[in-house]
């Protein structure tokens, strides 16, 4: 029986695991495993602590039987040569992986990531940047996860672009068909001016609505900006606290409300006319941009 098996035997008798023994000796449990597998032997200083913890002697570990007086006389002096393999010094731990809690000993196995974390304070949320540390294995897993997330995001974007393109064909076509029907009816009745006007509105409306649905050009932002001109803040009203004053207040409020709606409709109409005139030129580029983004 080798020294490794003896160490394992006395460790088992002492009710200790490899990790427990390693913690007592201040070494790694891999070192204890190598001793028990006879891949290495503990140093002389380590043997003293090992015998103290396992409550045995070095003779017990190396199976050296004490000779009797007669055997001592008969025995010739023997020289026992023993090769002691010194355990390599373990590198210091430079960091711990935040994902798997594995200690990191080499800078080549250390990977840092900066991420933004939302911190809620009361009703507001602010973002703080923090750095996370990963080992080599967790870094590879994170790369695969990030790749899958990015691929999924790209698929969602392409699906959204394709959906917008389909809608940019359907709804403008419905609008154009309605105006074309009105135009044909007007031509049948002999009202050519109304028919021509409906055809022009059908063409401009198709381009305008298609461009707005694609929403990848300046037309949408321009329309919203021009339409917002009509939303003005009305002035305050000074009135006397009397029946006539209250009547004046109510009438003035109604007038200002109607005026506000009129201004809003006027600005929205002007924005629509302006956008329709530009959309006839912008719509082909918006459609081409949408197709290119999907590809």
Q: Is there a domain that residue 80 lies in? A: no
Number of structural domains, the chain?
Answer: 3
Q: Which domain holds residue 27?
A: 3-74
Do 157 and 130 belong to one domain? no
Do 33 and 129 belong to one domain? no
Neighbours of 56 (CB within 10 A): 17
Number of continuous H segments (helices) and E segments (strands) in the chain:
10, 4
Q: What is the mean pLDDT of residues 260-282?
A: 90
Q: Is there a domain that residue 239 lies in? A: yes
Do 113 and 63 belong to one domain? no
Q: Is there a domain that residue 222 lies in? A: yes
Do 159 and 264 belong to one domain? yes
- Average pLDDT, rounded, for the chain: 81
Neighbours of 290 (CB within 10 A): 20
Most confident of 2-16, 62-76, 81-95, 202-216: 202-216
Residue from 291, 283, 274 nearest 217 by CA: 283
Per-residue confidence (pLDDT) for residue 181, from 0 to 100: 94
Higher pLDDT, 238 or 277: 277
Give the CB-side neighbour count of residue 10, counting CA atoms within 13 A.
24
- Interatomic CA distance for residues 21 and 53, integer angstroms: 8
Do 290 and 178 belong to one domain? yes
Do 256 and 287 belong to one domain? yes
Do 37 and 103 belong to one domain? no
Do 103 and 189 belong to one domain? no
Question: Per the structure block, which two tokens stand in for 209?
Answer: 């609505």
Per-residue confidence (pLDDT) for residue 69, from 0 to 100: 47
Q: Is there a domain that residue 225 lies in? A: yes
Q: Is there a domain that residue 86 lies in? A: no
Q: Is there a domain that residue 35 lies in? A: yes
R_g (Cα) of the chain, nearest Å: 43
Instruction: Give residues with Cβ within 8 angstroms of 223, minimum separation 6.
Output: 212, 271, 272, 274, 275
Q: Is there a domain that residue 44 lies in? A: yes
Evaluate if residue 80 carries a pLDDT over 60.
Answer: no
Do 115 and 228 belong to one domain? no
Do 159 and 289 belong to one domain? yes
Higher pLDDT, 177 or 37: 177
Q: Is there a domain that residue 105 lies in? A: yes
For residue 65, what is the domain's CATH number? 1.10.260.40
Q: Looking at residue 230, what DSSP letter applies? A: G
Helix (H, G, I), strand (E, B) or coil at 14: coil
Do 103 and 182 belong to one domain? no
Evaluate if residue 4 carries a pLDDT over 80.
Answer: no
Do 157 and 262 belong to one domain? yes
């Amino acid at each position: 029986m080798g020294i490794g098996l003896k160490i394992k035997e006395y460790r088992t008798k002492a009710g200790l695991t490899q990790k427990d023994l390693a913690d007592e000796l201040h070494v790694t449990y891999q070192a204890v495993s190598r001793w028990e597998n006879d891949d290495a032997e503990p140093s002389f200083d380590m043997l003293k602590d090992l015998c103290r913890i396992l409550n045995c002697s070095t003779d017990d570990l190396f199976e050296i039987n004490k000779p009797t007086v007669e055997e001592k006389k008969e025995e010739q002096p023997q020289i026992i040569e023993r090769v002691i393999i010194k355990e390599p010094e373990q590198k210091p731990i430079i960091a711990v992986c935040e994902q798997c809690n594995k200690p990191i000993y080499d800078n080549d196995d250390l990977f840092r990531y900066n991420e933004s974390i939302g911190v809620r304070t009361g009703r507001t949320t602010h973002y703080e940047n923090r750095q996370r540390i990963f080992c080599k294995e967790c870094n590879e897993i994170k790369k695969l996860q990030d790749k899958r997330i990015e691929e999924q995001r790209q698929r969602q974007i392409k699906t959204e672009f394709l959906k917008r393109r389909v809608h940019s064909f359907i709804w403008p076509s419905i609008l154009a068909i309605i105006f074309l029907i009105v135009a044909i009816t007007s031509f049948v009745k002999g009202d050519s001016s109304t028919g021509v006007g409906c055809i022009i509105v059908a063409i401009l409306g198709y381009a305008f609505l298609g461009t707005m649905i694609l929403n990848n050009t300046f037309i949408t932002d321009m329309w919203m900006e021009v339409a917002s001109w009509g939303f003005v803040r009305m002035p305050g009203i000074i009135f006397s606290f009397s029946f006539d004053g209250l009547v004046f207040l109510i009438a003035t409020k109604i007038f200002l409300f109607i005026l506000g709606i009129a201004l809003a409709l006027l600005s929205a109409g002007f924005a629509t006319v302006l956008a329709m005139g530009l959309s006839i030129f912008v719509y082909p580029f918006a459609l081409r941009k949408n197709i290119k983004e999907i590809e």
